[in-house]
Amino acid sequence: MDAKTFDAKSLLDSLFENGILFESGIDGLYGRSGAFEDVIERFERLVTRLGAPDKATRIHFPPGMSRATLEKSGYMKSFPQLAGCVHSFMGGEREHAQLLGMMADGGDWTELQKATDVALTPAACYPLYPTVAARGPVPAQGLLFELSSYCFRHEPSKDPARMQLFRMREFVKIGTAEQVRSFRESWLKRGKAMIESLDLPCEVDLANDPFFGRGGKMMANNQRDQGLKFELLIPVTSIEKPTACLSFNYHQDHFGRTWGLKFADGELCHSACVGFGLERVALALFRHHGPDVEAWPAAVRDVLWGV
Amino acid sequence: MDAKTFDAKSLLDSLFENGILFESGIDGLYGRSGAFEDVIERFERLVTRLGAPDKATRIHFPPGMSRATLEKSGYMKSFPQLAGCVHSFMGGEREHAQLLGMMADGGDWTELQKATDVALTPAACYPLYPTVAARGPVPAQGLLFELSSYCFRHEPSKDPARMQLFRMREFVKIGTAEQVRSFRESWLKRGKAMIESLDLPCEVDLANDPFFGRGGKMMANNQRDQGLKFELLIPVTSIEKPTACLSFNYHQDHFGRTWGLKFADGELCHSACVGFGLERVALALFRHHGPDVEAWPAAVRDVLWGV
């Protein structure tokens, strides 16, 4: 973690050597030290503190959601390569004997499992929209939620900032186009100020999601042309390709239409979210301020541990 | 949640009606309110406070682990019905078109996914043993860890105390048979006193794991005969069949042998863990003290929110 070298391998090696992350044998799947967890918790409190004036309603979803909900959300159209579904063994004793035999022979016993109703949550807000829709019409002033969830994306990588299982904290606004755009604007400002208060270099840029396939290129271009996604980027494993640590997304009425989110007068709701990639922010802090949290700059320690 | 009726349906309905849990359409998969999360966090702090004198090393693992590690641990032999493996789509554009076609026709598109290297963590301590083994010999005084993790078990149920995805906090001791038994003894006492301080009725009883199949019955009997598993039980959805909220497990040298956990002199390590089922404890608190945490008994509030 010296000041000049920004690459994935040297950062990951240093995190292992300093006992901040622990190897699991799988790229993108790591144990976290107590120090790492403390940084995440302190950063989460900072986010909550900055969002407190808005009085968001807190809801927490587990790392898995209804597969039917994921299907209906359109995720398998846009990001089929990233989704994860949970499969389980549902056989009897004979099939179990077969499974153990295949395992002993080094065969692929997983084919004896069947898909359950559970899919892994790809982003903290996916389970929220049907939950809100079930409560009836959205009030005129809109609704604001604070979420946190473990998320899964199947993209094994040796870049520690690209984990397969990671935590995302989110604020989600559901309301009129104007309400949700103004919510996003306010977090573009607050998010940048927050990261700067942690003495991290950052820039905010237009961005697009990793839509699948050739059709996906067009969707990505559309998303950029309409300014639907911004990211706050911090150099973590590369100077040239900094890491998206916060993202600011305007969904237009995509989720409103999909889930029937409406005001009392029948008008469709728009939505926007700001997402905080908790592992990524923690990695940025360790990358820039070093492996020993006690030796981080006093001003940064004060922001995270001072209150 | 009246004082007399203890059944799963009335508890779950009351949790939904009071906005403490949110339906997902899948049994055992629920959103949690801010109040529920606050109870979980406060209880976690209580556990950490009670364990602090032992100076455990904190490690956190994500809700997924290496599938190879799960296989080697023997989990698929004992509990194949509970395990979950993550499958993902790994095809190109043609297969994607096929997937979307199957989805549109209501077909089983999940067969187009393949098993990834990731399995869901079934208990917080499973990823720990190979992590510790990789660090070399265990010191003579043994090692003590504090873990927390989301865990998955495929057992869809309308009993809110039997969730498919739930959080478990654990202390794990790795050492000599004597060290780990004395660790377990101390937590049998501390755990009971802790739950009693929350004004919850409880009893500690000999127990067994839900081993699979006919062979499993023998394993369960062995486990009972040898006193390897105790549970702290609280009535949550039934008086006759109270819910296991804490468990105290002595693994003998099972994980020591499996993962080569040894002292410097080559002697195999034993291990024991105490697990706290966080959702179950929270549900017990809501069941016995009511849906409004502000109205819980002053002594209970003091234990959870007083420090």
What percent of chain B has pLDDT above 90? 97
Q: Number of folded domains in chain B?
A: 2
Checking DSSP bridges between strand B143-152 and strand B165-175, what pairing results, if any?
Answer: antiparallel
Quote the pLDDT of residue B1: 55
B2 in a domain, yes or no?
A: no
Element (H, E) at A259: helix A254-259
Q: Helix, strand, coil % (nearest 5) of chain A?
A: 40, 25, 35
Residue B2 has pLDDT above 70, yes or no: no
Residues A170, A42, single domain; the answer is: yes
Residues B19, B154, single domain; the answer is: yes
A53 in a domain, yes or no?
A: yes
Mutate to test the interface with A, among B87, B144, B278 (most CBs of A within 10 A): B87
Chain B, 235 to 254: residues with Cβ < 8 Å from chain A are none
**How far, CA to CA in Å, does B244 sit from each of A238, B26, B227, B232?**
48, 22, 16, 6
Chain B, 12 to 71: residues with Cβ < 8 Å from chain A are 22-26, 29-34, 36-37, 57-69, 71
Q: What is the pLDDT of residues A57-71, one digit of tens each?
A: 999 999 999 999 999
Contact by Cβ (8 Å): B271, B259: no
A59 contacts on B by Cβ (under 8 Å): 22, 31-34
Give just the sign of the alpha carbon dihedral A170, B48, A161, A157. Answer: negative
Contact by Cβ (8 Å): B138, B131: no
Closest CA to A280 of A204, A139, A166: A166
Radius of gyration of chain A (CA): 21
Using the beta-carbon criterion (under 8 Å), do A113 and B77 form an inter-chain contact? no
Closest CA to A162 of A277, A291, A285: A277
Distance, in angstroms, between A57 CA and closest chain B CA? 7
pTM: 0.97
Residues A105, A170, single domain; the answer is: no
Chain B, 185 to 204: residues with Cβ < 8 Å from chain A are none
Checking DSSP bridges between strand A229-234 and strand A203-206, what pairing results, if any?
Answer: antiparallel
Distance CA B303, CA B213 (A): 43
Contact by Cβ (8 Å): B149, B122: no
B94 in a domain, yes or no?
A: yes
Residues B60, B139, single domain; the answer is: yes
Residues A106, A39, single domain; the answer is: no
Contact by Cβ (8 Å): A152, A246: no
Please provide the DSSP assignment of chain B as one string. --SS---HHHHHHHHHHTTSEE--SSTT--EEEHHHHHHHHHHHHHHHHHHGGG-PEEEE--SEEEHHHHHHTTHHHH-TTT--EEEEE---HHHHHHHHHHHHTT--GGGGEEEEEEEE-SSTTTTHHHHHHTT-SBPTT-EEEEEEEEEE-----S-TTS-SEEEEEEEEEEE-HHHHHHHHHHHHHHHHHHHHHTT---EEEE------HHHHHHHHHHHHHTT-EEEEEE-SS-SSS-EEEEEEEE-TTHHHHHHT-BBTTSPBPEEEEEEEEHHHHHHHHHHHH-S-GGGS-HHHHHHHH--
Residues A12, A102, single domain; the answer is: no
Q: What is the pLDDT of residues B268-290, one digit of tens each?
A: 999 999 999 999 999 999 999 99
Q: How confident is the model at residue B6 (pLDDT cuts 50, 70, 90)?
A: confident
Using the beta-carbon criterion (under 8 Å), do B213 and A77 form an inter-chain contact? no
Residues B107, B231, single domain; the answer is: no
Closest chain B residue by Cα to residue A110: B115
Quote the pLDDT of residue B307: 73
Quote the pLDDT of residue B134: 95
Residues B103, B216, single domain; the answer is: no
B83 contacts chain A (CB < 8 A): yes
Chain B, 89 to 128: residues with Cβ < 8 Å from chain A are 89-90, 92-93, 96, 99-100, 103, 108-111, 113, 115-118, 120, 127-128
Written as six digits, the tokens of B220 are: 């369960």
Tokens 């069947």 -> residue: A114
Laid out side by side, the sheet with B64-66 consists of: A64-66, A113-120, A85-89, B85-89, B113-120, B64-66
Q: What is the pLDDT of residues A82-114, one digit of tens each?
A: 999 999 999 999 999 999 999 999 999 999 999
Quote the pLDDT of residue B196: 98
Q: What is the pLDDT of residues A7-50, one digit of tens each?
A: 999 999 999 999 999 999 999 999 999 999 999 999 999 999 99
Using the beta-carbon criterion (under 8 Å), do A103 and B156 form an inter-chain contact? no
Q: How confident is the model at residue A6 (pLDDT cuts 50, 70, 90)?
A: confident
Q: Closest to B85 (Cβ–Cβ): which among A81, A87, A212?
A: A87
* CA B277 distance to own-chain centroid: 5
Q: What is the pLDDT of residues A248-299, one digit of tens each?
A: 999 999 999 999 999 999 999 999 999 999 999 999 999 999 999 999 999 9
B213 contacts chain A (CB < 8 A): yes
Residues B152, B243, single domain; the answer is: yes
A165 contacts on B by Cβ (under 8 Å): 62-64, 118
A95 in a domain, yes or no?
A: yes
Distance, in angstroms, between B65 CA and closest chain A CA? 7
Helix/strand/coil for A296: coil
Using the beta-carbon criterion (under 8 Å), do B117 and A156 form an inter-chain contact? yes
B48 contacts on A by Cβ (under 8 Å): none
Mutate to test the interface with B, among A29, A112, A153 (most CBs of B within 10 A): A29
Using the beta-carbon criterion (under 8 Å), do B59 and A165 form an inter-chain contact? no
Contact by Cβ (8 Å): B234, B243: yes
Residues B243, B109, single domain; the answer is: no
Closest chain B residue by Cα to residue A41: B41
Domain that holds residue B272: 8-84+122-305
Q: Residue B199's domain is classified under what CATH number?
A: 3.30.930.10
A131 contacts on B by Cβ (under 8 Å): 22-24, 31
Residue A145: how many other CB atoms lie within 10 Å: 20
A128 contacts on B by Cβ (under 8 Å): 31
What average pLDDT does chain B have? 96
B97 in a domain, yes or no?
A: yes
DSSP type of residue A275: E
Q: Is B278 exposed, middle or buried (0-12, 13-18, 19+ CB in 10 A)?
A: buried
Closest chain A residue by Cα to residue B212: A93
Q: What is the pLDDT of residues A160-195, one digit of tens each?
A: 999 999 999 999 999 999 999 999 999 999 999 999
Quote the pLDDT of residue A2: 57
Residues A30, A60, single domain; the answer is: yes
Which residue blocks in A60-176 are alpha helix, DSSP H? 67-72, 75-78, 93-104, 128-133
Distance CA B141, CA B263 (A): 10
B292 in a domain, yes or no?
A: yes
B222 in a domain, yes or no?
A: yes
A2 in a domain, yes or no?
A: no
Mean pLDDT in residue range B140-157: 98
Using the beta-carbon criterion (under 8 Å), do A164 and B64 form an inter-chain contact? yes
Residues B33, B105, single domain; the answer is: no
